[in-house]
Structure 1
Amino acid sequence: MAEQASRDWWEELLQVYEFAHYRQYADELTRREVDFLIDALGLRGVETILDLACGGGRHSLALAARGWTVVGLDAAASVLAHARAAAAEQGLRVEFVIGDMRDLPYHERFDVVLLMNSSLGFFDDATNQAVLHGIARALVPGGKVLIQCLNPYQIERYLRDFRSGWYPIGSGFVLREARFDPRRATLEIDYRYIDASRGIDVTHPGDQIRLYGFPELTAMLRAAGLRPLSVFGDAALPPVPFTEESVWQVVIATRDRTVRMEAEDADHAHR
């Protein structure tokens, strides 16, 4: 199958059917993460939120169920079809948009942008920086972005449970093989799905995720006109401090008016 169709198929498998297979765990994880988001961002119920790289929309749906106005954006049309169906089934109003995080069409529309589950880093450094510039433009002055990503300094701890192994999804099994290239600070992940009952044996095109340490990440945020406010060691309550043992880093930054003007001046100069 063509690469984009293959990626969409895999996104549907991993973002929809995997969470459906492990429904109880997924629902509890989502509840805990949304509780954290509300607390860490000081959400009051009136904010408009962009859930960037929303996948199957689990955060979008949970936030909408609690009263927030949410837009979920993802590149995989098949995954968003499931998200829209779930919203309709639950009677929720969520705008799910097919789009590319590298080319966000929004200007000062959102109070909050979420980029969860290590969704920053799928491109080269210049493009990842451009993604942050797009997020800054999408935020209203005073708006906040929350980015959850892996801490490269603790990648070995993360890979202890994630490096390699088979696990079931539906009537088949997924083989995951992950490794970290320290020369490029990049997490590389391959998948293979086998369902003997349906004669399926499919290999994933492969993911490469650039991991940024906290100094790199905060420098990139500042370059985009986003002022770092706080960092946590996990998306969980009670709040977990970011320490030398943290597998995750969850960074919150804001776009204020002074920084916004500087970022826009730099952006225009770069064009």
Structure 2
Amino acid sequence: MWFDSPYYPMLYAHRSEDEAQQAVQNVVGLLHLKPGARILDVGCGRGRHLWPLAELGYRVAGIDLAADRVAEARAGSAQKGIDAELFVGSMLDPLPQPPYDAVVNWFTSFGFFDELATHQLAIAHMARALTPGGALVMDFMNAAEVRANLVPEDRIEVGHVEFHVRRWIEEPFVHKSISIRDGATTREFSERVMLLDRSDFEALFAAAGFHSVQFLGYYDGSPWTPQSLRCIAIGRTFAV
């Protein structure tokens, strides 16, 4: 599996802890959570968003389908002295150890399913894991910007490893093939993500019981426009 391979973090090594800290401070800061609030990162990867959340005084948990990434998150958290609850699991199952004051989903860790109804199921699980009045943050690519400016091909070298990345759109998905040359070894991986628009997220959030959905265009907290690089949706459940 691509997300569980050792090459995945190599290709995305430029996604730094500084970027994660900016996202946490500017985006999660808008939620006005109390110190000690519980936050679950769905699709937590190696944990780079968990750590700045913990440093801000929140109790953090993470879940990811890729066992190797969860192991890295566990090791990194221990090294930093952060007490993080970490789970291997799927967003298509009920989320572990609820309730949470906020659920976050960063870096397009969504959109992988064949049908819109399956994405709705995942968001429903996130909603059910929240306290009344809790918040969901979903950080997704801006589909309008991707359609307008898709880069069809990249060649990237990371140390001795060469990546050849090809991208194309077959609606409603954007596809990516990743060819890797590592010395005498060659590997092939692929990604496919549904191009979910702002209107899709508005409908998905409404169906899951969220209200007052706000959209940002980047991690600096700027508002969403069709030209934005990101589509960050923030919704709250109704308080009792």
Q: 1:62 to 1:222 in 2, by over 3 A?
A: same
- Please, which of 122, 143, 146 is the counterpart of residue 152 of structure 1? 143
**Partner residue in 1 for 2:185:** 200
The whole-number CA distance in structure 2 between the counterparts of 1:244 and 1:78 is 36
In 2: Cα distance, 1:9 partner to 1:232 partner: 29
C-alpha distance in structure 1 between counterparts of 2:174 and 2:169, whole Å: 5
Q: TM-score, normalised by structure 1?
A: 0.82
Q: Assess if the C-alpha contact under 8 Å between 1:193 and 1:202 holds in 2.
A: yes
Counterpart residue number, 1:214:
198
Structure 2 gaps, min length 5:
none
Amino acid at match of 1:70: V
Aligned with 2:107: secondary structure?
coil
Aligned twin of 2:215: 231
Which structure carries more helix by proportion? 1
Question: AA paired with 1:51?
Answer: D
Q: Write out per-residue CA displacement over residues 136-162 of structure 1, whole angstroms, 9 at most, x where no aligned residue.
A: 1001110000111122222145524xx
AA of the residue aligned to 2:87: V
The question of 1:242 aligning with 2:228 is answered: no
Residue matched to 1:78: 68
Compare 135-144 and 213-222 and name the one that shifted more: 213-222
Q: 1:42 aligns with which of 32, 45, 58?
A: 32
* 8 Å CA contact 2:4, 2:67 repeated in 1: no
Taking a change above 3 Å as real, the CA distance of residues 125 and 38 of structure 1, as seen in their structure-2 partners, is: closer
Q: Which has the higher strand share?
A: 2
Matched, 1:166 2:155: yes
Asked if 1:7 is matched to 2:2, the reply is: yes
Shift of 1:83: 1.1
Structure 1 residues 80 and 212: CA distance shift in structure 2, 3 A: same
State the number of aligned residues: 239
User: Is 29-38 or 71-80 further displaced after alignment?
Assistant: 29-38
Gaps of 5+ in 1: 1-5, 259-271
Q: Could you tell me which residue of structure 2 aligns to residue 185 of structure 1?
A: 172
Whose Rg is larger?
1
Q: What residue identity is the alignment partner of 1:60?
A: L
For 1:8 and 1:252, the matched residues in 2 are separated by: 25
Task: Write out the 4+ residue segments of structure 1 that deviate beyond 6 Å after TM superposition.
Answer: none
Q: Which residue of 2 aligns with 1:264?
A: none
Q: Are 2:121 and 1:130 aligned?
A: yes
8 Å CA contact 1:218, 1:228 repeated in 2: no
Aligned-partner SS, 1:28: helix
Measured at CA, do residues 143 and 158 of structure 1 come closer, stay the same or move farther in structure 2, by a change above 3 Å? farther
Equivalent pair of 2:17/2:49 in contact (CA under 8 Å): no
Q: What SS does structure 2 have at the residue aligned with 1:102?
A: coil
Q: Deviations over 1:181-203 (max 9, x none)?
A: 2xx3211111111111xx22100
Alpha-carbon distance in 2 for matches of 1:203, 1:73: 26
Aligned-residue offset at 1:247: 2.6
What TM-score, normalized to structure 2?
A: 0.91
C-alpha root-mean-square deviation of aligned residues, in Å? Answer: 1.9
Q: C-alpha displacement at 1:67, in angstroms?
A: 2.0
> Aligned equivalents of 1:9 and 1:107: distance in 2?
24
Question: Contact 1:108/1:138 (CA < 8 Å) preserved in 2?
Answer: yes
TM-fit CA distance, 1:89:
1.1
Give 1:52's aligned residue.
Answer: 42
Deviations 1:66-109 (A, max 9, x none): 32111110011111111111111111111110010110234751
The aligned residue for residue 267 of structure 1 is none
CA contact (8 A) 1:233 1:241 kept: yes
Instruction: Name which of 65, 81, 87 aligns with 1:97.
Output: 87
